[in-house]
Amino acid sequence: MRKHDEVLLHDMLTAVDAIKRFTSGTTYSHFAANEMMHQAVIRELEIIGEAARSVSDALQDAQPEIAWAQIVGMRNRLIHAYSKVDLGIVWEIVQIDLPVLEQQVKRILGEEVQ
C-alpha cells in the first residue's frame, strides 16, 4: 500500500473517531436540535469523503467492499447541496454506515478490529 493511501485511511479513522466522540450517548432528537453537533459531524463526514476521493484507484479497486463512490458522493452533497442536507440520513450514516467503514479501514491497515 502506498504511504499516501495509508495516511488517507488514518485520516478517515480520525474523522470516524471524532464523530463517535461527538455523538456518544446522544439521541437523534438531541443531534438534530444541536446545530453545533450536527455541523461538526457533517464536517467530519466531508473529511472522510475527501480522503476517500483521494485514495488511489489501485487501493479502491483492491477493496471493492468499501462504498468509495457513495462516500465521495455524500461528501459532494454535503459540500455542494449544504442547504438540503437531511439530518435523518446523516444520523443513519453515523449509526449504521460508519461502524462498518471503521472496521473495513482498520482491516486494510492491519489494525485490531473490535
Supply the residues annotated as catalytic.
75, 80
C-alpha 36/C-alpha 50 separation (Å) is 21
Q: Is 89 helix (H, G, I), strand (E, B) or coil?
A: helix
- Between the CA of residue 46 and those of 58, 79, 107, 112, what are the distances in Å? 22, 7, 22, 25
